[in-house]
Chain A
Amino acid sequence: MTSHTLSSKRTNLVIHAVLIAISAVMIIPFLWMILTSVKTPMEATQIPVKFFPSILKWNSYSEAFKQSSFQYYYFNTAFSAFMKTLFPIIFSSMAAYAFARIQFPGRSICFFLIISVMMVPNPVFYTPQYMMMNKLGLVNTVTALWIASLISPFATFLLRQFFLGISKELEEAAILDGCNPFQIFWHIMLPLVKSALVAIVIIQLLWSWNELQWPLIINSSPEKLTLSAGLATLVSKFGTNYPVLMAGAIMAVIPMIFLFFIFQRRFIEGVAFSAHKG
C-alpha cells in the first residue's frame, strides 16, 4: 500500500515536471515580449543575450504609438470586431431557429447553400470579394473590413444544432397561445441557447481581432488598417528596433488577453465546444 502511494506520488511529480516544462515553453515568448519592450534597442540586440534591462524604458510604447497609427488600428479592429460579432449573432440565431423548427419548402436547399461555403478555404473568396469591393468603391475603407462578415454560416450551423436539441413542448404551448415564430424565437428559444451565443461571441471576436490576410489585401492606408495588418507595417518601418516592435505587439494583443483572463472559463469552454459541435 505504501509503495503504491509512493509510486503514484513519483508519477505525479513526473507529470508536473513535464507540464511545467511545457508551460515554460508556452510562456517564455510572452515574457520575452514584455522584457524586450522595456529594453533599449542596444540592450535588445546585445551579445551575449541580456535577460533583464538595467532600467525599465517605457518610451518604446509611445514611439510605437506615435510612429504608426495605433489609434486608428484600435478603432478599426474594435469596430469591425463589433460588427462581425453583433450582426452574425442576430442573423444566425434567427436563421438557425427557422432551419431547426419550421418545415418550410426549400429548407434543405437553402441550408445546404449556406453551409456549403464552410468547406471553401478563405483565400478562394478574396480575389472576387476584392473585385466586388472595387466595384462598390469600398477598397481601402473600414466598411470593407466587415461588410462581408455580417453573416456567419458557421454560427448558423452551430446554433441550428443547438435548437435541434431543445424539446418542442415549450414552443407548442406558445403556438397555441398565438405567438408567431419570431416571438417564440425571441422570448422562449433565444434565452435557452445563451451559452451557445456566448461561445459564438467569443469566437467571432477572436477571429476578427486576429485576422491578417483580408485586411492586408483590401486596405493599405494606415488609417484604414487593423492591428494585425498594422503590425506588419511596423515591421517594415522599424526593422530590428525590437523594443518598439515588441511594444506594438503587446499593445495589439493586450485587449484579447485581458478579456481571456477575465472570462477564462467561458473562452476555453466556448472554443472547445464550438469545435465539437462543428
Chain B
Amino acid sequence: MNEGVMAMNTKSRYAWAYVMIAPTLIGTLLFWSWPAVYSIYLGFLKSENFGLVNHWVGTQNYEKLFKDQEFWRNLRNTLFYMVLFVPLTLVCSTVLAVLLNAKIRGRSTYRVIYFLPQVTMPAAAAMVWVVLFAQDYGLVNYALGTHVSWLSDPRFAMYSLVIVGVWAAIGFNMLLILAGLQGIPRTLYEAAEIDGAVGFNKFRYITLPLLTPTLFFTTIVLMIGATQVFDSIYMLIGKTNVALPAVRSLVYAYYQNAFVYYDQNYGAAIVNILLLVNLVLTGVQFLFQKKWVVYD
C-alpha cells in the first residue's frame, strides 16, 4: 500500500471514528456528565421559587447537613444495611455456588430457580413480601409461630429489608461466583486429593484463595448497590410507616428532600455525599484489581 493512500485513509478513518462515537459522546455529555457536574454545583446553592432564583451559599447546605441528626441516622442506616446485606449475600451465594459446582443432577433447574428473583420487578417482589410479612395473616409469622410486626416495628424493619434484599440478590451473585469457581483448574484439586486433602480443607486451601479476586469484585459491586437502596424501602416500608426513620437510607432521604419537600439543594447535598462514598469504593476496587493482576 503506498503512503499517500495510507495517509488519506487515516484521515477519513478519523472522520468515521468521530461520526461513530458522536451519538454516544454527545448523549453522555448532555444527559449524564452535565447533570453530575450540575448536582455538585446545586449543593452550593440555595434556590427559591422552584429554581428561578439561585443564591450561592457556599458550604451552608453541608453545614446544615452535618448538624442534622436525621442525616447521620440515615447514613448509619445505609451503612448498617450494607453491613448486614453484603456478607449475608456473599456467604449464601458462595455456599450455593460451591454446592452447584459439584456434579449433581438438576443443576440447571436449580440455577433457573435461584435466578428467578433477578428477573422479577423489585416493586412487584416487594408487594408480595408485604403480604408475607403481614402481622396478623402473613405466612412468615404463621410459619414461625410468631406475632411480629416485621415491617412497622422499628426493631425488625431493617432485618426484613435485608431478608428481601438477600433473597433478590443471591441468584445473580451465585452465578458470578460459580463462574469464578469454574475458572479454578481441576488438576489442583486432583493434586490435593493425592496429598490426602478432603472436603473442607480443599475449600479452605484451594477454592477460597483462588476465588478471592471474584469474591472481592462481588463484594464491591454489592457494596455499591447497597449504598443505593431505595426501591424496597419505598415499597415495603412506605412514607407513613413509623419504622421509616429506622430504615431510611440516603437515597430515600434524597428522594424525600428533593421531590417531596422540594428542597433540591439539600437533596443534592445528600446525594453528593453518596457520590463521594461510591467514588471511594470504586477507587478501592480499581487499586486492588491492579494489584491482583500483577500477582496472578
Chain A interface residues toward B at CB < 8 A? 12, 15-16, 18-19, 22-23, 25-30, 32-33, 36, 44-49, 91-92, 94-95, 97-99, 102, 104-105, 107, 110, 113-114, 116-117, 119-132, 147-148, 150-153, 156, 175-176, 180-182, 185, 206, 209-210, 212-213, 216-217, 227-229, 231-232, 235, 242, 245-246, 248-250, 252-253, 256-257, 259-261, 264-265, 267-268, 271-272, 275-276
Shortest Cβ distance from residue B110 to the other chain A in the assembled complex, whole angstroms: 5
**B contact face: mostly helix, strand, loop, or mixed:** helix
Partner of A49, one of B112, B142, B238: B142
**Once the chains bind, are B116 and A257 in contact (CB under 8 Å)?**
yes
Instruction: Kindly report which residue of chain A lies nearest to residue B121, judged by CB atoms.
Output: A210
Instruction: Kindly report which residue of chain B lies nearest to residue A250, judged by CB atoms.
Output: B124
- Alpha-carbon distance between A227 and B274 when the two chains are bound, in angstroms: 28
The reply to whether the CB of B119 lies closer than 8 angstroms to some CB of chain A is yes
**Once the chains bind, are A45 and B136 in contact (CB under 8 Å)?**
yes
Given contacts A95-B20, A113-B29, A119-B278, contact A22 B114 (CB under 8 A): yes
- Alpha-carbon distance between A253 and B14 when the two chains are bound, in angstroms: 45
Chain B residues, Cβ within 8 Å of A235: 127, 130, 235, 238
Partner of B268, one of A16, A127, A206, A231: A127
Partner of A19, one of B100, B122, B271: B100
**Once the chains bind, are A29 and B137 in contact (CB under 8 Å)?**
no
Further pairs besides A32-B139, A44-B131: 8, Cβ < 8 Å: A114-B28, A123-B254, A125-B31, A128-B36, A256-B121, A261-B112, A265-B108, A275-B172
Instruction: Kindly report which residue of chain B lies nearest to residue A184, judged by CB atoms.
Output: B16
Across the A-B interface, the 7 shortest Cβ-Cβ residue pairs: A128-B35, A151-B27, A249-B124, A148-B31, A228-B123, A95-B24, A181-B16
Shortest Cβ distance from residue B85 to the other chain A in the assembled complex, whole angstroms: 16
Contact segment of B64-72, B184-192, B202-210, B224-232: B224-232
Given contacts A123-B228, A264-B112, contact A16 B104 (CB under 8 A): yes
Chain B residues, Cβ within 8 Å of A246: 127-128, 131
The reply to whether the CB of B88 lies closer than 8 angstroms to some CB of chain A is no
**Once the chains bind, are B13 and A25 in contact (CB under 8 Å)?**
no
**Once the chains bind, are A245 and B113 in contact (CB under 8 Å)?**
no
Chain B residues, Cβ within 8 Å of A256: 119-121
Most chain A CB within a 10 A radius of its CB, from B24, B35, B137? B24
**Once the chains bind, are B20 and A94 in contact (CB under 8 Å)?**
yes
**Once the chains bind, are B23 and A94 in contact (CB under 8 Å)?**
yes
Partner of A27, one of B35, B116, B129, B258: B116
**Once the chains bind, are B99 and A18 in contact (CB under 8 Å)?**
yes
Instruction: Kindly report which residue of chain A lies nearest to residue B225, judged by CB atoms.
Output: A121
The reply to whether the CB of B125 lies closer than 8 angstroms to some CB of chain A is yes
- Please tell me the number of chain B residues within 8 Å of chain A, measured between CB atoms: 96
**Once the chains bind, are B123 and A252 in contact (CB under 8 Å)?**
yes
**Once the chains bind, are B42 and A127 in contact (CB under 8 Å)?**
yes
- Alpha-carbon distance between A48 and B224 when the two chains are bound, in angstroms: 41
- Alpha-carbon distance between A147 and B19 when the two chains are bound, in angstroms: 20
- Alpha-carbon distance between A205 and B16 when the two chains are bound, in angstroms: 29
Chain A residues, Cβ within 8 Å of B231: 212-213
Partner of A156, one of B24, B134, B275, B279: B24
Given contacts A105-B14, A151-B31, A206-B119, contact A95 B23 (CB under 8 A): yes
Partner of A231, one of B115, B123, B259, B282: B123
Within 8 A of A (CB), among B141-186: 142, 167, 170-172, 175-176, 178-179
The reply to whether the CB of B84 lies closer than 8 angstroms to some CB of chain A is no
- Alpha-carbon distance between A86 and B125 when the two chains are bound, in angstroms: 27
Q: Mark B87-120, 1 if CB is under 8 A from A, else 0.
A: 0000010011001101010101011111111111
**Once the chains bind, are A125 and B1 in contact (CB under 8 Å)?**
no
The reply to whether the CB of B288 lies closer than 8 angstroms to some CB of chain A is no
**Once the chains bind, are A131 and B51 in contact (CB under 8 Å)?**
yes
- Alpha-carbon distance between A94 and B221 when the two chains are bound, in angstroms: 27
**Once the chains bind, are A271 and B124 in contact (CB under 8 Å)?**
no
